[in-house]
């Protein structure tokens, strides 16, 4: 428990220091997400996400991303998962005159462990590994082939039940910090990819539907190494649970 808290505090401290870096580009976005969980049986749950990410400026599309993962419950508090992500990346600048859309195919593996601290508070620790196949391009048009790199993602998330009554809908507070690190021969200047700090409120509407509204602070190093994206993001999620 102590080591987990130390690592979590280190991530928060690191992200705070990185936010102070110069040569940053400030942007405001909103993300709209549909998250579906289909319970196949006691061991397997199929997770699917569809998210549209847009700039507030000109309401321009930034990214359309689809995730699909099959989760296996090793224990009540431990899961492993494998899956695939498909991404269509639009220009990172809402004022760009380019219409280039860059596809990415991303196999994913994941391990997560949830530690219950008390009846209301729990800590979820997640390690995700991305294998990123990104279509080559020259900034104006797509080229043949794909570049490749690994990305390691470590997330700590506190989950606190604000309201929990028997047979009533739950209200939950989430606070998270996720650090992402790049690796591979094509990674020269941006071994640090990004850090995400998140706070959100989830409200169950019934046993199958929940809404979550949150704020995400994203700080990302660009491939050049000397520029950073500093993004303030509003995220709205619709959770939908289904059972076979």
CATH number of residue 87's parent domain: 2.40.160
| pLDDT, position 12 | 53
- Torsion from C-alpha of 53, 56, 62, 68, nearest 10 degrees: 0
Instruction: Give the distance from CA 196 to its chain's centroid.
Output: 8
| pLDDT, position 19 | 46
Q: pLDDT below 50 — which residues of the chain?
A: 16, 18-21
| pLDDT, position 6 | 54
Count of structural domains within the chain: 1
Judge contact between 181 and 191, C-beta under 8 A: yes
Residue 192 lies in domain:
2-243
Judge contact between 171 and 202, C-beta under 8 A: yes
| pLDDT, position 143 | 97
126 vs 77: CA distance, rounded Å: 12
Global confidence as pTM? 0.89
| pLDDT, position 1 | 55
| pLDDT, position 9 | 55
| pLDDT, position 74 | 96
């Amino acid at each position: 428990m102590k080591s987990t808290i130390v690592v979590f505090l280190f991530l928060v401290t690191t992200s705070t220091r990185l936010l102070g870096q110069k040569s940053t580009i400030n942007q405001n976005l909103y993300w709209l997400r549909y998250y579906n969980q289909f319970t196949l049986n006691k061991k397997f749950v199929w997770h699917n996400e569809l998210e549209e990410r847009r700039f507030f400026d000109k309401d321009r599309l930034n990214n359309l991303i689809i995730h699909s993962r099959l989760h296996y419950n090793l224990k009540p508090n431990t899961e492993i998962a494998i899956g695939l992500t498909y991404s269509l990346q639009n220009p990172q600048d809402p004022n760009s005159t380019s219409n280039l859309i860059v596809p990415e195919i991303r196999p994913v593996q994941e391990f997560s462990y949830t530690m219950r601290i008390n009846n209301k508070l729990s800590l979820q620790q997640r390690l995700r590994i991305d294998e990123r196949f990104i279509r080559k391009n020259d900034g104006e048009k797509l080229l043949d082939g794909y570049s490749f790199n690994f990305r390691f993602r470590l997330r700590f998330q506190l989950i606190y039940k604000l309201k929990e009554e028997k047979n009533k809908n739950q209200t939950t507070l989430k606070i998270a910090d996720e650090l992402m690190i790049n690796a591979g021969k094509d990674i020269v200047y941006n071994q640090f990819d990004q850090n995400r700090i998140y706070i959100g409120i989830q409200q169950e509407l019934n046993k199958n539907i929940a809404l979550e509204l949150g704020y995400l602070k994203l700080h990302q190093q660009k491939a050049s190494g000397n520029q950073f994206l500093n993004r303030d993001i509003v995220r709205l999620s619709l959770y939908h649970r289904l059972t076979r």
